[in-house]
Amino acid sequence: MHTDNYITDSLELHLFFCRIMKEHSFFLKAGFTPANPNFSKQAEFYKMEFEKLLCQTLALSDGIISRDVLCSGELVTEFTALAEKQTESFTGININKEITTRELQLDNKSCRCNDNSRKRLQVQRLNRTAIRLLDGLIKFKESILKKVLCCEMFTMNYPLLIEHIIREAKLYRNYIKALESTGSLNCESMKETECFWNQIMMEHAMFIRGLLDPSENELFVMADGFAKEYSTLLKACRNAQNQTLTTDSLKTTLRFKDFKATGTHGIEQCKIRSVILPLLADHVLREANHYLRLLKA
């Protein structure tokens, strides 16, 4: 049932998405008010559990992960270490910064997986743990959204952002289930991939636009322009039958990646006025890098 890529694909998936999920939990915790201490505790629980899962993944990954993934900037960027240090200082929420150090040291010298039964079982356990955690995290996010939408809770996170991170968690879970049932990540077409990530990129532009200081008019206009470009790409993608818009998506995402990288650097250097945490800026940059790898594949 499992293909030769089962182990590598699983580990690469967790290296990217585990970090995304732990940071989602972090951002949720940072957005709660003192009126919701139990929700803060739950967010901390999921942050820590995904950190543990990411550490377990790292222990199995050295020499296995492809150069394409290691060099993509989707696991860690040149900004990540400082972003974590600053964000921990700003929020008082602990971040396991050793994970970033270990990711920067990942090697792919052999880039060959010794496909033995022991490692398969270890990866299978990772996948099962991830599904269990995702089931709980998705329910947690959905409960937050429900409370926010019926005015039972206030959070600093936009309702759209909560919907956004629910979709990403569900995509992660779908990928793991595909790996466990077929041994392959080929569970969706390129059209579906582009539609999903063009929506994600569009919403990133909208979030950036909405979190900039009102005085940052030039950056606001640029972010708004990207939101409109991705809206157009998304409509075209959804209307296409079996066609893809890869070339157009690639061109726009390359420019958006550069915009995000410049913005992340500016936020870290305190040259941009905003309410964007440095780690959030780095987070959306890594997602753009991930999408670019998919587009170039």
pLDDT computed for residue 1 by the predictor: 40
Of 187, 219, 248, which residue is a domain's last? 187
Domain of residue 221, CATH code: 1.20.1260.120
Q: Return the structure tokens found at 34.
A: 């003192």
Please indicate, yes or no, whether residues 246 and 207 belong to a single structural domain of this protein.
yes
Please indicate, yes or no, whether residues 169 and 282 belong to a single structural domain of this protein.
no
Please indicate, yes or no, whether residues 176 and 193 belong to a single structural domain of this protein.
no
Quickly state the pLDDT bin for 2 (edges 50, 70, 90): very low
Residue 71, domain member (yes or no): no
Q: Any idea which residue has 């890594």 for tokens? A: 286
pLDDT tens-digit series, residues 22-38: 999 999 999 999 999 99
Please indicate, yes or no, whether residues 297 and 206 belong to a single structural domain of this protein.
yes
Residue 89, domain member (yes or no): no
Share of the chain above pLDDT 90, in %: 85
- Tally of domains within the chain: 2
User: Is residue 92 left, alpha or beta, with left meaning phi > 0 and alpha meaning psi from -120 to 50?
Assistant: left
Please indicate, yes or no, whether residues 193 and 248 belong to a single structural domain of this protein.
yes
Burial class (CB in 10 A: 0-12, 13-18, 19+), 88: middle
Mention every residue, 6+ apart, whose C-beta is less than 8 A from residue 92: none
pLDDT computed for residue 245 by the predictor: 73
Residue 70, domain member (yes or no): no
Please indicate, yes or no, whether residues 183 and 244 belong to a single structural domain of this protein.
no
Burial class (CB in 10 A: 0-12, 13-18, 19+), 181: exposed
pLDDT computed for residue 112 by the predictor: 53
Please indicate, yes or no, whether residues 170 and 204 belong to a single structural domain of this protein.
no
pLDDT tens-digit series, residues 97-147: 999 999 999 976 654 555 588 899 999 999 999 999 999 999 999 999 999
Please indicate, yes or no, whether residues 228 and 274 belong to a single structural domain of this protein.
yes
Of 169, 187, 205, which residue is a domain's last? 187
Phi, psi of 212, deg, nearest 5: -75, 150
- Per residue in 221-232, is it b (16+ CB within 10 Å) or e — as a string? ebbeebbebbee
What's the average model confidence in pLDDT over 53-60? 96
- In eight-state DSSP terms, residue 62 is T
Residue 134, domain member (yes or no): yes
Residue 5, domain member (yes or no): yes
Residue 76, domain member (yes or no): no
Of 187, 207, 229, which residue is a domain's last? 187
pLDDT computed for residue 186 by the predictor: 77
Please indicate, yes or no, whether residues 257 and 113 belong to a single structural domain of this protein.
no
Residue 39, domain member (yes or no): yes
Burial class (CB in 10 A: 0-12, 13-18, 19+), 21: buried
Please indicate, yes or no, whether residues 219 and 134 belong to a single structural domain of this protein.
no
Q: Which residues span the domain enclosing 254?
A: 188-297
Distance CA 248, CA 69 (A): 22
pLDDT tens-digit series, residues 215-252: 999 999 999 999 999 999 999 988 876 666 788 999 99
Reply yes or no on whether the pLDDT at 297 is more than 60. Answer: yes
Reply yes or no on whether the pLDDT at 187 is more than 70. Answer: no
Please indicate, yes or no, whether residues 113 and 215 belong to a single structural domain of this protein.
no
Q: How far is CA 84 from CA 87, 88, 213, 283, in A?
A: 5, 6, 22, 10
Please indicate, yes or no, whether residues 113 and 175 belong to a single structural domain of this protein.
yes
Biggest alpha carbon–alpha carbon distance for the chain: 58
- In eight-state DSSP terms, residue 156 is S
Residue of 230, 158, 150, 161 lying closest to 196 (CA atoms) = 230
Quickly state the pLDDT bin for 184 (edges 50, 70, 90): confident
pLDDT computed for residue 218 by the predictor: 98
Distance CA 273, CA 155 (A): 21
Q: Return the structure tokens found at 132.
A: 């269990």
Residue 261, domain member (yes or no): yes
